[in-house]
Amino acid sequence: MSAIGTVTKYVDDARIIYKALNGVVVLYKPPVLHFNNVRETVISNLCRELNDMRTRPPMKHVAIEGETNKPMKVVVRSSFADHPLVVGPRYQPNDFRMGATKIMHKDVSGVLVCGINAGNQLIHKIKTSQSLRFYKIKGLLGEATDNYFHTGKVVEKSTYAHVRRGHLDKLCSSMQSTHQRKMFELCGVDIQSQAAYELAVKGLLRPANSNIPMIYTVKCVDFSPPEFMLEVVCTNETDLYLKAIIHDLGLKLRSNGTCTQILCIQDGLFNIKHALLSKHWTLQNIITNIQMCQNVINQNKNILHQKNPALIEPNNDIDTIE
Amino acid sequence: MYIEFLEKNVYKIDDAVEEIDEKLPGPFEQCNEDLSHIGPYITGTYNFAKFANDSHTIQQLVKLGVELYKIESDREVLEISENLGFFITRFPKIFKEDIDDLHTRIRYLRAHDFNITMIQTIVNKHPPWLAFKTQEIDHRLGFFQNNFKLNGSQVRSLAVKCPKLITYDMKRIRHSSFSIKEEMGFTKLEMHRILNKAPRVLIRARTEVVKTFDYLHNYMNLSHDIISREPTILLCRKRRLEVRHRFLVELKKDQYDPTKPLYVSPLCLVSGTDNEFCEKVAKASIHTYNDFLRTF
């Protein structure tokens, strides 16, 4: 964050901070937790910290007391009906809405782009713009499980000594070219038309339908049998789809494959180095992160509304905040 | 339904007025009666806030610091606190009996060689203890004594150290003690050490304890003896343990054998914040550790 143009003011009033809690925040989702658990934790942290600050004092209660046939007294005292012990803490989990561009299954970890309160509108726009996600997927050769993930029950075992890096690379590139062929079919125009040609000239396209998974790149980045790691760039994917890729690769390699880790390293413009670790899900860090994300969105207005079906190079001039 | 009810009321009032045969005051006549007790009807509500400004009871409870919003969903509590005066006039003995019972319960503890400071700790740490009948407490203390083969002073120190455990759900305690004995395979002596140092192991969800133990024993290769000497590590979440252990493996500092140099105590591994862990155990920068955390 540049020091120029920002005014720092120290606030201890929870009301002002609650009003500032609108926007997009990037979290690092650890494995094993489901998105719902993440949301619960973040919201309860926010509530706790806001309630610990100076909150709204109880309202005044005006009472007219005394017997009606004598002069009566008008008393003003703080209302018990608005006391935090009676109506509960000032900020409660119901006061926060939190959605994400992708509801992450518990096996997936990594970048999770969330919206808090009014930020949910931005999240919806980012979601419909079909941004790309970058994954690092780890696989294990020689084993197959019933749910395609290493947590499942092992149903098949095989040897993997014959597998070479070349085989894996060959399969990855053939898979990539098949998917790219599919991309032109999914863009919603007749493949023999002039419109299709003009789109194809522009390069990679995003699919017209938001339900069909689309893979742009599959690359093996690490091969040390029995483990290997793929880097996948895709959109509209599901966790099971990514697991199935590893499973299919294993079968094509005349062996078996199980997915051991799915790590999302980038979602649209938001990189994993911007993401807040679970120990940093505090009010201060979340507010700073919201500001940073707002800067990123301001620099790349196109992620809120995509006019062009082709993929565009993002404006990668992003300041990180530790 | 509502209209019918209203009409009935009107009818009754008319009836009553006729019977009394009193002259009704005219619209402009001066009223000298005290009407302060007359107010609008109390309509339905979903919480205490509506009564708070009028109810003396609620105000007194708030002044005592009772968090009413937490207990108001319980219908019984609502009736008791609204009708506290009613209850006391009708059942003055309820307090008397209760006090007697409380005396009996305290006397029971005194009879079993708990000294006064011990009883104070128990009651302050875990007030619901007093809600249990003497027979029940006796039965439970007996269970702990027989099941874990403890002697009198061990049972007493256990009750003082973790009174919640004594009053905890017996079924779950049976399950977790079975799991510690049979599933994890701790011996009697090791079990005593666990009970003495970290009785909360029995309270923590059994499946979670087993996961942590599995990681400690099968991945980090710690023996039962070492684990039972530092049983608080069984209370650590598996993920926290896993992340820190794997970080040490990356740095080649995973040396948990106390007889060899560069020993890392398992307790140091799990306790403290990440900053302390990096500074004291891993001797690495916190940024390196944070980046490492992001690779999971």
* Cβ proximity of A270 and A131 under 8 Å: no
B149 within a domain of the structure (yes/no): yes
Residues of A in contact with B212 (CB under 8 A): none
CA distances from B12 to B8, B20, B36, B39 (A): 6, 12, 24, 20
Q: Do A69 and B48 touch (CB under 8 A)?
A: no
- β-bridge mates for residue A75, sequence order: A63
B179 is written with which tokens? 């799991």
pLDDT digits (tens, 9 = 90+) for B115-151: 888 888 887 777 777 778 888 889 999 998 988 888 8
Q: Do A69 and B33 touch (CB under 8 A)?
A: yes
Q: Do A86 and B68 touch (CB under 8 A)?
A: yes
Q: Which of B167, B196, B226 is the last residue of a domain?
A: B167
Closest chain B residue by Cα to residue A260: B296
B139 and B120 housed in the same domain: yes
pTM: 0.81
Residues of A in contact with B53 (CB under 8 A): 61, 63, 79-81
Q: Do B52 and A273 touch (CB under 8 A)?
A: no
Q: What is the pLDDT along chain A (322 residues), one digit of tens a residue?
A: 444 556 677 888 899 999 989 999 999 999 988 999 999 999 999 999 999 999 999 899 898 888 877 888 899 988 888 888 888 899 999 999 999 998 888 899 999 999 999 999 999 998 888 888 999 999 999 999 999 999 999 999 999 999 999 999 999 999 999 988 888 877 777 878 888 888 888 778 878 778 888 899 999 999 998 899 999 999 889 999 999 999 999 999 999 999 999 999 998 889 998 899 999 999 999 999 999 999 988 888 877 777 777 776 665 544 443 3
Smallest Cα distance from B52 to chain A, Å: 5
Residues of A in contact with B62 (CB under 8 A): 80, 83, 85-86
* Cβ proximity of B231 and B237 under 8 Å: no
- What's the rounded Cα separation, in Å, for the pair B8 and A307? 69
B154 is written with which tokens? 């061990």
Q: Do A263 and B53 touch (CB under 8 A)?
A: no
Residues of A in contact with B36 (CB under 8 A): 65-68
B153 within a domain of the structure (yes/no): yes
* CA nearest to A276, candidates A322, A236, A212: A322
> Which residues of chain A approach chain B closer than 8 Å at the C-beta?
28, 30-32, 61, 63, 65-69, 79-83, 85-89, 109-110, 261, 263, 272-273, 275, 277, 279, 322
Residues of B in contact with A272 (CB under 8 A): 294
Strand A23-29 and strand A108-116: pairing?
A: antiparallel
Say what angle helices B188-197 and B152-161 make with each other, to 10 degrees: 40
pLDDT digits (tens, 9 = 90+) for B6-42: 445 555 556 655 666 667 777 888 777 777 777 777 7
Q: Do A81 and B59 touch (CB under 8 A)?
A: no
Which pLDDT score is estimated for B76? Answer: 62
Most confident of A208-217, B87-96, B203-212: B203-212
In terms of phi and psi (left: phi > 0; alpha: psi -120 to 50; beta: otherwise), the region of A212 is beta
Say what angle helices A239-252 and A165-186 make with each other, to 10 degrees: 130
Share of chain B above pLDDT 70, in %: 84
Which pLDDT score is estimated for A1? Answer: 45
Provide the residue range defining the domain that includes B75: 49-90
**Residue B53 contacts A where some CB pair is shorter than 8 Å:** yes
* CA nearest to A160, candidates A142, A186, A175: A142
Residues of A in contact with B240 (CB under 8 A): none
Which pLDDT score is estimated for A285? Answer: 93
Which pLDDT score is estimated for A199? Answer: 80
Q: Which of B90, B118, B149 is the last residue of a domain?
A: B90
Q: Which of B31, B57, B90 is the last residue of a domain?
A: B90
Which pLDDT score is estimated for A321? Answer: 39
B217 within a domain of the structure (yes/no): no
Amino acid at A176: Q
**Residue B46 contacts A where some CB pair is shorter than 8 Å:** no
A16-52+94-131+272-313 fold = Alpha-Beta Plaits (3.30.70)
A132-267 fold = Pseudouridine synthase (3.30.2350)
Strands (E), chain A: 23-29, 60-65, 73-78, 98-100, 108-116, 133-141, 143-145, 154-157, 214-224, 227-235, 257-267, 270-271
Q: Do B52 and A69 touch (CB under 8 A)?
A: no
B151 within a domain of the structure (yes/no): yes
Instruction: Assign A143 to helix, strand or coil.
Output: strand
Residues contacting residue A73 through CB under 8 Å, at least 6 positions apart: A64, A65, A66
Average pLDDT, chain B: 81
Which pLDDT score is estimated for B107? Answer: 86
Residues of A in contact with B48 (CB under 8 A): 86
**Total tally of structural domains belonging to chain B:** 2
Domain boundaries, chain A: 16-52+94-131+272-313, 132-267
Q: B95 versus B67: which is more confidently predicted?
A: B67
Q: Do A86 and B36 touch (CB under 8 A)?
A: no
* Cβ proximity of A63 and B59 under 8 Å: no
Q: Average the pLDDT over B88-102 and give the result.
A: 56
CA distances from B228 to A109, A174, B223, B270 (A): 33, 54, 9, 15
* Cβ proximity of A50 and A18 under 8 Å: yes
Closest chain A residue by Cα to residue B46: A87
Residues of A in contact with B45 (CB under 8 A): none
Q: Average the pLDDT over B207-215 and give the result.
A: 93
Phi, psi (rounded to 5 degrees) for B258 = -65, -15
pLDDT digits (tens, 9 = 90+) for B223-282: 999 999 889 999 999 999 999 999 999 999 888 888 888 888 888 888 888 899 999 888
**Residue B286 contacts A where some CB pair is shorter than 8 Å:** no
Smallest Cα distance from B214 to chain A, Å: 15
- What's the rounded Cα separation, in Å, for the pair A233 and A245? 13
Nearest to A83 among B31, B50, B62 (CB): B62
* CA nearest to A271, candidates A314, A220, A221: A314
B153 and B121 housed in the same domain: yes
- What's the rounded Cα separation, in Å, for the pair A215 and A180? 7
CA distances from B282 to A267, A277, A317, B268 (A): 31, 19, 34, 10
Q: Do A322 and B296 touch (CB under 8 A)?
A: no
Residues of B in contact with A277 (CB under 8 A): 290, 293-294
Residues contacting residue A246 through CB under 8 Å, at least 6 positions apart: A137, A139, A148, A230, A257, A258, A259
**Residue B73 contacts A where some CB pair is shorter than 8 Å:** no
Q: Which of residues 233-252 of B touch A (CB under 8 A)?
A: 239
Could you report the predicted ipTM of this complex, rounded to two decimals?
0.83
B28 within a domain of the structure (yes/no): no
B104 and B160 housed in the same domain: yes
